Amino acid sequence: MKVFLIIVVIVLLAGLAGFAWLGHSSRSNPPRLGLSGDQFAPCPASPNCVSSDTDSPDHSFPPLPLAANASWAQIVEQVTALPNLKVVSDDGQYLRGEVRSPLFGFVDDLEIHQRGNQLALRSSSRVGYSDLGANRKRAEQLQQALSEAGLLQ
């Protein structure tokens, strides 16, 4: 019985070390991000990305209709209030942030782009296959925050 428990503990510790390594490796340079023309980079085939620039039902998230009085500063204020988000770049119409998971340090990339009276967004994991819906939840959380702040139509 003691041998079995020791083996279980070793397997669990190895698994945790593996997750920690994945989290560390996700801190490296992000995949291709930014805008090409007026579009975000496409989502990967894996279900860990949502974007306003795709028709794929698994990845699609609609652009958010901005209220006439919504300013970029107000939008950025709501984005920066998201948990564990660090703004990497902001040019006044396009913002890229990194969201780090607290436990293992996995990094997701969040991009927003104001296109006239709409706000397009893309949220994607850097590593792994499934994100258990984390990027979609983040997009929905941002949508709710913008709505509650009166910045959406």
Contacts of 113 (CB under 8 A, 6+ apart): 35, 38, 40, 93, 94, 95, 119, 120, 121
Considering the domain boundaries, does residue 90 fall inside one? Answer: yes
pTM, two decimals, is 0.81
Segment 39-54, tens digit of pLDDT: 999 999 999 999 999 9
Domain count, the chain: 1
pLDDT number for residue 32: 80
The domain that contains 59 carries what CATH number? 3.30.310.80
Q: 3-class SS at 22?
A: helix
DSSP one-letter code for 18: H
DSSP one-letter code for 153: -
pLDDT number for residue 15: 54
Count Cα neighbours of 92 within 13 Å in the Cβ-side half-sphere: 0
